[in-house]
Amino acid sequence: MLERLFNPRGVAVVGASENPTKLGYGVARNLVVSGYRGAIHFVNPRGGRLFDQPIYPDLKSVPDPVDLAVIIIPAAAVPQALEECGRRSIGFAIIGSGGFRETGAEGEALERQCLNVARKHSIRVLGPNCIGFLDTHAPIDTTFLPLPGPIAGDIAFLSHSGAICEAVIDWARGQGFGLSRLVSLGNQMDLTESDLLPPTAADPNTRVVAMYLEGVGDGRAFIDQARRVTGAKPVVAIKVGRSERGRDAVASHTGALAGEERAFEAAFRKAGVIRAESSEEMFDWARALAWCPLPRGRRMAVLTNAGGPGAIAVDALDARGLQMARFSESTLARLRKALPPAASLKNPVDMLASAGPAEYANCLRALLRDEGVDGVMIILPPPPMTTAAEVAGAIIPVVRTSEKPVVVALMGEDLIAHAAQLFRQTHVPDYRFPERAASALAVLAQRAEQMAAAPVKPARPADTKPNAVRRLLKDASIGHGGFMSASLSSKVVKTYGIRVPDESVAKSEEEASEAAERIGLPVALKVLSPELTHKSDVGGVRLDLRTLKAVQEAFSDLVRTLPRSQPGIEIQGVLVQPMLKAGADVIIGVKNDPQFGPLVMFGSGGVEVEGLGDVSFALAPLSRAEAEQMLESTWAGRRLRGYRSLPPMDREAVVEALCRLGWLALDFPALTEIEVNPLRVFPEGEGVSALDVRVRVAS
């Protein structure tokens, strides 16, 4: 669909200028210098000549073919330029001009006008307020960035920031790696990151896609497109803007803990996008993913000529979840043959400072032959008896023929510059310190595991009852803060197969006593009030009431004392529930994220959940594997396997409850927050029970 955007038969530069200080000159220059093989046309009402070509006064004067117009004129004139594109049946436009939504309300109105014109003529638009795109292999360069441009390579870069694009091009040249394609997204008036990711990844010269994101336009569309892409090629992204400022006010623990960053983390995980913490890390990983084979496991070997850097490497690998490989006897024999007696053959292999090209190459061959080694980090500070470049020359052929990943911690600056050049020319990833090299090996292992995991489509439970929920919502009485009553909330989750204890609402001591007798002692009493978000925080719960007299006294105490300590609250009654057998208490919940939809939470239950922060999130709908991973990533979930005096609990029932809660929220977006806290988990095979349920409905 976007083929003619990236491979146009002809390009018209609207606003081309003979003045070298103008952006229109920069676009024209870059298009010519790039070696673009299609037709190039320059448009400016002043006319003239530029790069030995005529400047046409308007688009209608430009000869065919023209598939793409690059518009670099004052913002106010852009709508008319788009009209002219439409009359010429030009299908694509890049608006490099600024002065639109980024400037305020007037600019936003102008941007809407441009979009209306583009849609009227079926023009797909990149920008405005962008620098365009370039492709080093096509080749084509529609940007106005200073020369020289990027080296031709195999890493594509999509960016919301034009300034980041300019910096990345210069930095990549200095780091010795190339780009296949670079796309500046700008204001995304029309084309978004979700539109441009698939065709960029489909480019045969691209092995990895890196992305700088400030947000996404359509969260679900991004996940769908990215998930298709990451099944074939890795995507590494950095997402900026981590601040929680501006988050909507929330009243549940789930809502308080589920912010924009949690949603992005969950979205990237669901889509298979690998999230980097910094720009440097993103391109460190991109190089490794583009240039290295994937490991079969997480067992790594370290080859060094110095003990200190080797120790750093061990700590860094461990911190990244990688293991130190154990060598076979045949590997140890080969290492003994290659090294002096004083060398350390344990992992890390310390060859001593005297190690030269032969020792590095022979030991690397030995490590790569070992079936128990999945990857190797080579540490190469400037060797005292030879040069780093000589060592590089000896090991590069070994690395390039290996089916296992090898990364190099090339430590130093001036003395290793030639070696760095050799590694980069042959696509062997080098990093200045062991920590960065360890990070690269870890992302290779992560990608290998991602590719090995068969995608599973989440299955809807057969016994959910959406019609029952619709009836409940139709008659629901919504209280303070948009919350349903506790009893109605329990009925809602019950319709989706999440077990709740028997309960009854009592409005007098007698009703409480009758309910307790019917349910069976001992019981718990929980005050019902629309103003009370967390009942236990204000003393609104009484537990383990073993006699009817105790039930009556507890009822009287709750309705009498709470209004004194909480002036203005309305007591609607008391919820009577059975005291359930002992188990492990956890929390499950959902917050409906405005960009990505229902965000499901699991973690340590009780009143301290926000303080503990032992929680995990995933986007609905959940597969069983995703729900299981939520448990595995928290102490609360791992503890369910059994810990000290606590026997193994019914993890499978928790997984089932998480999946069901996700479907409930997905089916009913009006349920903006759902929280079960605590969810009592019983021993294996005995299931779970939702002790306290709260559901918030959109106003």
Which residues of the chain have a pLDDT value below 70?
242-259, 533-534, 568, 606-611
125 and 45 share one domain: yes
Let me know if residue 181 belongs to a domain: yes
| 678 located within any domain | yes
| Whether 395 and 540 share a structural domain | no
Same domain? 547 vs 622: no
Query: Is residue 209 within 8 Å of residue 235, measured between CB atoms?
Result: yes
User: What's the structural domain count of the chain?
Assistant: 4
| Digit-coded pLDDT (tens) for 238-294 | 998 765 543 343 344 444 555 678 899 999 999 999 999 999 999 999 999 999 999
CA nearest neighbour of 420 among 397, 442, 387, 386: 387
Q: How far is CA 647 from the centre of its chain?
A: 35
Contacts of 239 (CB under 8 A, 6+ apart): 213, 214, 215, 264, 268, 275
Report if residue 489 sits inside a domain. Answer: no
Domain assignment of residue 191, yes or no = yes
Beta bridge partners of 615: 603
Q: Are residues 9 and 120 in the same domain?
A: yes
Looking at the structure, tell me whether residues 186 and 38 fall in a common domain.
yes
Of 549, 579, 609, which one is at a domain's C-terminal end?
579
Secondary structure (3-state) at 119:
helix
**Residues written for the chain:** 699
Are 427 and 540 within one domain?
no
Within 8 A by CB and 6+ apart from 644, the residues are none
Look-up: residue for tokens 């589920």? Answer: 258
CA distance 640 to 631: 9
436 & 536 share domain: no
Q: Tell me whether residue 490 is in a domain.
A: no
Write the CATH number for 563.
3.30.1490.20
Residues 588 and 561 in one domain: no
Distance between first and last Cα of the chain? 40
CATH number at residue 679: 3.30.470.20
pLDDT of residue 611: 65
pLDDT at 571: 85
Residue 553 lies in a domain: yes
In angstroms, rounded to a whole number, what is the distance separating the alpha carbons of residues 189 and 176? 34
Question: In this structure, is residue 221 part of a structural domain?
Answer: no
Do residue 329 and residue 441 come from a single domain?
A: yes
- Find tokens 């002790």 and name the residue: 691
What DSSP letter does each residue of 454-518 carry, written as one string?
PP-PPPPPTT--HHHHHHHHHTPPP-GGGBPPHHHHHHHHHTTT------EEESSHHHHHHHHHH
SS3 589: strand
User: Residues 545, 596: one domain?
Assistant: no
Of 553, 579, 605, the domain-final residue: 579
**Residue 124 belongs to a domain:** yes
**Residue 475's CB: how many other CB atoms inside 10 A?**
7
Are the C-beta atoms of 675 and 254 separated by less than 8 Å?
yes
Task: Please check whether residues 549 and 415 belong to one and the same domain.
Answer: no
Domain that holds residue 93: 3-206
pLDDT attached to residue 606: 66
CB contact set of 309 (below 8 Å; sequence gap of 6+): 379, 381, 409, 411, 434
pTM for the full predicted model = 0.89
Q: What is the DSSP letter of 341?
A: T
Residue ranges with strand state E in 48-139: 49-50, 53-56, 68-71, 92-95, 124-126, 133-135
β-strand partners of 56: 43
Reference 160, options 225, 91, 102, 99; nearest CA is 102
CATH of the domain at 46: 3.40.50.720
Helix (H) or strand (E) run with residue 168 in it:
helix 162-175
